Chain A
Amino acid sequence: MLTIVPHLRTRRPSPTTIEYTVSTSPSLTFSLRILITLTILLRTLIGFSVLLLLYSRYDLAFPSTRIIIAPPFFTDERIWYTVHLILSSRFGLLALRTAPQIPVFILLPLSAAILYLLSLRIHTTESLLVLHGLGIQTSTSSATYLSSATTRFIPTAKIQDVLVNEAFKGFEVRYYLVIVVDEEEDVVVVFPRLLPRRAIVERVWRGAMGCLYAVEGENKMKV
């Protein structure tokens, strides 16, 4: 419900600049926004409880002196006092009781795995920006919230060709868009994670060629 089949969105403020975005995110309606906010809240809650579990395990292994009386607000002790408050709440006591029952060699990898899963993005967004006279830029959103999107800019002078290729993936044949770069061994795959269907790829190819080589591109499309 949160994600849909990859679909294409085009932004074209002027005929010489086009951005194709392929994304699994549906258009945001009000109910969807609420749903996404709720999932984020749920994620933070689970993440927080995992951290609490880990901290209580640490606290049981290496007990530290608790600060019980409330110190002034802008001090370091205040943080430890808050920690104490959390630990002595009902939630904290539950964590203190559960933590010693899980062995460390299970607890640590398990919580690392959960924290990693929580940091995963729901949607994948990949885009291709074609600038006439400058070049092509591919960009792929990262898998987790921890890092930003990776982009790759290829100047027009270095683009040898842009073409649609086919390849086996599992038991199906996928069509994908590649950019052949001069003097480079590997080709650059556009939309590498989503690999949208052929209709989208063809549309993007036509548009990109037309924009990149404004005059010559038209002749090519006739072929």
Chain B
Amino acid sequence: MPEHDGLMRIFWPLDLPRTHSPGTIVGWRNSGLDVFVVGVLEDVDARSVEGALKVGTLFRSSSHPIERIFGLCEQSTMHVLGLANIPGSEVDALQIHANTGPAYRLPLISCARASTIQIVMYDRPLPTRMQYISLNPISLALSDKAGMVTHLPGSVDAQEEQEEMKAKNKKELLVEKLKLHTVSKHSPSPKDEALPKIVNQINCSWEVNKLLQNNVSLVGRRSRRTLSVSERVVESATTMLEIITLAVWEVLTLYMYPVVRRGFVIGLLCHRVVAEALLLLLEWRPKPDYAALKDISATAQQVEIRLQQFCYWPMQHVTLRKRKKDWESVTTNHPDYIRFYNSLWLVANDVIIGIALGSYIIDNAAWVAESISEILRLYSIGSLRNTIAWLMGWPAGLKLNGELATFLGDLFLWVIDHWSNCVEALRPVLPHLIWFIGFSSFAGASMPIALFSDLLSILTLHIYSFYMASARIYNWQYTILLSLFQLFRGKKHNVLRKRIDSCDYDLDQLLLGTILFTLLFFLLPTVVVFYLTFATARMAIIILKAVLDTLLACLNHFPLFALMLRIKDSQRLPGGIRFELRDTQTIMTRSSNKEMPLPTSYISLKSVPLTFRAMFHQYFQLGHRIRSHYLSPLVILCLATGKFVPPIHRKNLYSLQYSMLPARRAGIMDMWNVLTEQDPAGLKRNVYPDFKVNTKRLNGNVRRYHH
């Protein structure tokens, strides 16, 4: 192998014992001078270890097939990498010799073929605690949503998306151009390419080391001492207990467990069928571009999210169960684990808060209903009526057109009167409604919030219609004024060429147009004040609903479990790796009495925990989207000209809530297959692994007696 640079790279675990006892260093050899140390087997001969590794004695009684580990580490076998603490011994040219006495803070390593040495010291992540390291930050959201929903052409969101795409393409072009600036392309060396492999080796190293240390007694010189009588008594007593528990366990698993399990699966499936029916109802659209029920109502959407979660959980759980059939070092399912428990925990939290809220609402239903109807009467009817009355009589000294103001005001007041009658009719029902909302909150605090949001939309329907009506009138007047202004200037708008042309009008046309223009212009302020009033009221309601939606998003999506993990054990949320150059001056001076063989750098490898910013990444994204939508010039233009302000697309607004759910939910048959296929394997697994675990524990005890 062309190792022209003479650099030896050694990955060295930090938890190796610092003793003088001689040993054999075992690990993976990724390429000639690139080695990964898994462990040091003490007091055994290197040659016998080599043989044991070939035959597989050292991998005996592993809980899972060792080939899986070999596959993960992309190696066909483990190697003897060198010797530890045997001064003056003969080692191969490629093998290393390490001194790890208690006097040295860091191991001293030499190798015949190397000219410089890099020692990367790593902490073994504990797979039993689900710690692991990864090169890329762990993703808390499911990432299969790309390009799922497309916008209708011509809508504001489609335009926004187009602009986004344009900016993206521009940037891609720039990136392509930047590639041309690279003078020479360096082909990566085997050491460069080994990094992903090494990350897997680090993740596996704890379990492999444990397995090796368990089996080290099978190798080499040490003979097995027979057990003493007392030890034998203890062992037979424990095995007797094991046998009895095993028998009871077998009876339970053979006769009771399948029945219970089958019942449970059937229950789940019935639930799934009902959920499917409800989901179909919620997602049904009369025409492809019409809104479905879940798009209109917050409650329907909340129900839909919950149902989707219930559909997804069994699948997720089965995936997580499969984890137990494999080595703990396999880290592919850890993000799934975090997502699963995060959603479970959020639902549990939601229900707990909901029970508290619900019992409060039910206890005080009459008072709550009374205050709500009071607030409604005061703000949505009383103050609106006062404002309109104020606008009718020259508000703030503005001399509006009295007749038009009276006309418009009377119109709106008349509708308000009718509406207040309707609300009065609703009043006796309100306590029951509130009671119902309170009762619904036993399904989670998000339910009453969603219901309240819907109730708010219904009870302020009149404001919405006022806004629509006044916006329409204002928009008409605005467009008429624009075209009459062109006439006033002697020009006209050419529709075909989309430009302003000069035009020779007749005298009567000009006269009539100018008179109409003057009239409409003087009537404009009156319409504007009415439009502004209702637009402001509408905005206030939208903001209130946005607050409720944010609350819902927090209840449905907050990364609670991830935050807890970050505080409890940040190693479980890896956000990348970090290297730290250790100071080596002291080591150099300490070992100066012998000849200092090679320039060596000591580097420690650490895992970087996921940043809080990355955890809340989606919230930032949502905030950015809302800002770019509602503060865009287009929306402000719409507002100024009285056009209908397009609401932000629901895909953008609620992508946060769906980010933990798959884009396409699994069908009923899929679920049935997944839940039943595992049956025979599951049964077998339940009987045997326990036995294995126990024997392993016994082995461990036996080993301890040897020492």
Contacts and interface: CB of A to CB of B under 8 A. Distances in A.
A76 interface: no
A201 interface: no
B175 A16 contact: no
Interface in B552-596: 576-579, 581, 584
Interface in B10-27: none
B181 to A, nearest CB: 7
Nearest to A21: B581
A220 interface: yes
A163 B181 CA distance: 10
A220 to B, nearest CB: 7
Given A151-B608, A153-B576, A160 B183 contact: no
Contacts of A103: none
Interface in B149-189: 171-172, 175, 178-179, 181-184, 186, 188-189
A134 B579 contact: yes
- Residue among A16, A163, A215 with the highest chain B CB neighbour number at 10 A: A16
Interface in A121-161: 129, 131-135, 137, 139, 150-153, 155-157, 160-161
Contacts of A13: 581, 584, 599-602
A223 interface: yes
A155 B135 contact: yes
B192 A155 contact: yes
Contact of B578 (A132, A153, A157, A184): A153
A54 interface: no
A132 B601 CA distance: 11
Interface in A204-220: 213-216, 219-220
B603 interface: yes
B5 to A, nearest CB: 5
A153 B5 CA distance: 23
Contacts of A152: 576
B136 to A, nearest CB: 11
A185 B171 contact: yes
B118 interface: yes
Given A11-B581, A153-B578, A17 B603 contact: yes
Interface string A1-43: 0000000000101111101000000000000000000000000
Nearest to B179: A160
Nearest to B174: A185
A194 interface: no
Contacts of B5: 16, 132, 214-215
Determine the interface band of chain A, counting residues with CB < 8 A from chain B. Answer: 35 or more
A151 B186 contact: no
A180 to B, nearest CB: 6
B9 interface: yes
Interface residues of B, number: 40
Contacts of B577: 153
A171 B179 CA distance: 29
B116 interface: yes
Contacts of A151: 576, 578, 608
A128 to B, nearest CB: 11
Nearest to B189: A133
Interface string B123-139: 00000000000010000
A137 B604 CA distance: 13
B7 A132 contact: yes
A180 B189 contact: no
A219 B576 CA distance: 33
A161 B118 CA distance: 24
Contacts of B120: 134
Interface string B586-624: 000000000000111111000010010000000000000
Contacts of B90: none
Counting chain B CB atoms within 10 Å of each CB, which of A13, A15, A134, A137 scores highest? Answer: A13
B487 interface: no
Given A13-B600, A132-B7, A133-B189, A223 B182 contact: no
A15 B117 CA distance: 9
A157 B194 CA distance: 10
A110 to B, nearest CB: 27
A131 B118 CA distance: 9
B552 to A, nearest CB: 30
Contacts of B184: 216, 219-220
A223 B183 contact: yes
A160 B581 CA distance: 24
A14 B600 contact: yes
Q: Which 10 A-B pairs have the closest CB atoms?
A: A133-B191, A14-B599, A17-B601, A13-B601, A156-B192, A14-B601, A14-B116, A161-B182, A151-B578, A19-B581
24 contacts: A13-B581, A13-B584, A13-B600, A13-B601, A13-B602, A14-B117, A14-B600, A129-B581, A131-B118, A132-B7, A133-B7, A134-B191, A134-B192, A135-B195, A139-B578, A153-B577, A156-B188, A157-B193, A160-B178, A160-B182, A185-B172, A187-B178, A215-B4, A216-B184
Given A133-B191, A155-B192, 6 more contacts: A13-B584, A14-B600, A14-B601, A134-B579, A135-B192, A214-B7
Interface of A: 11, 13-17, 19, 129, 131-135, 137, 139, 150-153, 155-157, 160-161, 163, 180, 184-185, 187, 213-216, 219-220, 223
Interface of B: 4-5, 7, 9, 34, 116-118, 120, 135, 171-172, 175, 178-179, 181-184, 186, 188-189, 191-193, 195, 576-579, 581, 584, 598-603, 608, 611
